[in-house]
Structure 1
Amino acid sequence: MPGSRTDYFLTRLSASLSGTNMPAGLKYAETAAGRVHVFDTANEPGNEASPTDRPSIVFTPDGPNVVAHYRRLIALLTPHFRVVCFDMPGFGFSLPAADYRHSLEQGARTVLAVLDQLGIARATLAFSCANGLYAIRAAQLAPTRIASLMLSQTPSLSAMQAWAYRMIPRPLRVPVAGQFITWLARRKLAQLWYRSALPAETDDKPFQQLGRQSFDAGGCFCLASVVQGLLRETVLMTNPAPLTIPCTLIWGEQDRSHRVTQPETLREHLPQLEIRRFADCGHFPDLEQPERYAREIVAHMEKIAADTVSC
């Protein structure tokens, strides 16, 4: 596990170099994959009355996005749901453990550990890109815990692996070397990624600014490790039984990084998949069009509730 140990060292070096820049008041959940930064509306002032009685929706930012990128979307959804948003290990303010290899198994168990620590018995997972594969594996491992999936820019595992070979430079796919390159060039890589992932006419400055603030405060961006973990992965292929839980996939059609990726490939794992296309969005439809995305997720949750009652 030389790559994961390299990240363990480098992420802690970044945190130590940030000094007093770390935001105050961050809350964490302890997991085997490391201490995970979690935002939970149930812990926010004014929400004490009955937030835990509402359906729970859990988000994970797609790096270099962090929890702070989700403020607007969280505000839109808070009147209806208990909303949780946490940085996966190796991203944002969730420093990874030395043996965290970004496998789907480890990622899924991290998701379930966060639910356990927050006392959430059942939740909808609203994940994006590679994180959506962690959500699928979590639903395989604990089907009674995952009510439904609301994914964005997540194709099948094989399609994601083809995307990684096509989009990620070969040096980043090499253990240890990739980790050092990513750490040294994390600001430039994030800048280039936003330019590629967002539509050409979209102003990327708000995305870039929050990303820079995270880096200034010691935030992680373990891109090489998540790619290397993804390319080693076979679990969804060796456990091919498709899931029957409800899933909506939001797909941004202006995502230049996924221009040849077919969202329909996700039906390999989720045959009941419903696809909603955002014609004017890129890689982050939930953040680019939060009001429209919020309407989609409310409709998704209402349909789940209606189906549950009819059963």
Structure 2
Amino acid sequence: MKKVLLLAVPLLLALLAGLYQGAYACIGHWLYANATDLEASIYGFSEERVNIGDMELALYRNHNPGKPAIVMLHGFSADKDVWPRFAKHFVDDYQVIIPDLAGHGDTGFKPGWDYGMPAQAARVMALLDALDIGQAHIIGNSMGGFLTAVIALDYPQRTLSATMVDPAGTRFPQPSDMFRMLEQGINPFLIHNQAEFQRFYPMTMAQPPFLPNVVLAAVGNKYIARRDELQTIFAGFHSSPALDERLPELSVPAMLWWGDQDRLLHVSAVEVWQAGVPQLQTHIFAGIGHMPMVEIPARSARIYREFLQGL
């Protein structure tokens, strides 16, 4: 009997530990899925799905008919939830549209979709058509910054202004931490376990907003679950033609932001953009990483508002 009890105790402890981990994961995923939507609704955004023909795009939108439109585009592996704390500063004076791009967020992923920048740009235009919006200011981060520039270049008549935030899409005179990893055959976005996520997450921001550990663990689990999808999307958008040769064609009012502590895309690309677009307004944020609109939402929103009001 004593031997049976000795065997039963570790089994019971293992079962309890498993139940605890399962409950911990469930709480984290619930918070991750719902807290950001609740916060966005407090700021005046509704969740919607809009049919653009070949898919339905999920998005946040405030209803402000007759006001100028702003479209906010997230980066690779992110989603619309990176924007609301920045976007709340514009809900009174603008129509704000924040889509989950194809392959991301609530829009979802399909292996057959084209994840290149020209296809994603055409989808943003189809979204504006579906919402009966002729022209819009476009602002995008990282992959979304690359996409913002492609929209401004391919659809200048529909682009009131273009703001690129730590954008991909050009050469980088100096390699970032991410590019050094890619040269070694390691893509930091393709996460296999929580330890890898804990190394990756600090690369995304120098001053991240507070998130409980239970939520961070849920985010890490989502990266792990989506690894194959992210690999497909990464290959799609990295196959898009680079912007370097086209930058002189950028004719719409344009602004460039970069965090000088960006570990994913090195700030040295600023000189490439400035050489290609002499009229570009540029802001380099000291002590900030890859996502200024998340790290310093109020401060960056003031700069963006001043830019829009000066047009």
When normalised by structure 2's length, the TM-score is 0.72
SS of the residue aligned with 2:127? helix
SS of the residue aligned with 1:53? coil
Are the aligned partners of 2:75 and 2:145 in contact in 1 as well (CA < 8 Å)?
no
Partner residue, 1:89: 102
Partner residue, 1:299: 306
Partner residue, 2:297: 290
* Cα distance change of structure 1 residues 101 and 72 upon mapping to structure 2, 3 Å threshold: same
Partner residue, 2:146: 133
Stretches of structure 1 that go unaligned for 5 or more consecutive residues are: 1-17, 43-50, 305-311
1:279 is displaced (CA, Å) by 0.8
Residue 259 (structure 2) aligned to one of 252, 276, 283: 252
* Cα distance change of structure 1 residues 104 and 189 upon mapping to structure 2, 3 Å threshold: farther
- How many residue pairs get aligned? The number is 270
Partners of 2:80 and 2:94 lie apart in 1 by 17
1:155 is displaced (CA, Å) by 5.4
Partner residue, 1:157: 170
Partners of 2:53 and 2:303 lie apart in 1 by 33
Deviation string, structure 1 residues 56-105 (Cα, Å, up to 9, x no partner): 11112224433233222222221221111112112222213433232121
| 1:120-269 equivalence runs, <5 A | 120-154=133-167, 156-159=169-172, 165-168=179-182, 182=190, 185=192, 191-199=198-206, 202=208, 205=211, 209=215, 212=218, 222-234=229-241, 236=243, 242-259=249-266, 261-267=268-274, 269=276
Larger RCO of the pair (alpha carbons < 8 Å, separation 6+): 1
Partners of 1:107 and 1:123 lie apart in 2 by 16
* Cα distance change of structure 1 residues 208 and 298 upon mapping to structure 2, 3 Å threshold: farther
Stretches of structure 2 that go unaligned for 5 or more consecutive residues are: 1-28, 38-45
Partner residue, 2:11: none
Partners of 1:124 and 1:79 lie apart in 2 by 16
SS of the residue aligned with 1:144? helix
Matched, 1:36 2:42: no
SS of the residue aligned with 1:102? coil
SS of the residue aligned with 1:114? helix
Matched, 1:27 2:41: no
Q: Select the structure of larger CA radius of gyration.
A: 2
Question: Identity of paired residues, percent?
Answer: 20
Are the aligned partners of 1:94 and 1:220 in contact in 2 as well (CA < 8 Å)?
no
Partners of 1:204 and 1:237 lie apart in 2 by 36
Matched, 1:70 2:94: no
Partners of 1:91 and 1:188 lie apart in 2 by 23
Deviates more, 1:108-117 or 1:160-169: 160-169
Matched, 1:60 2:65: no
Deviation string, structure 1 residues 227-266 (Cα, Å, up to 9, x no partner): 3234322264575652111111121112233346332212
When normalised by structure 1's length, the TM-score is 0.72
SS of the residue aligned with 2:107? coil
| Letter of the 1:231 counterpart | H
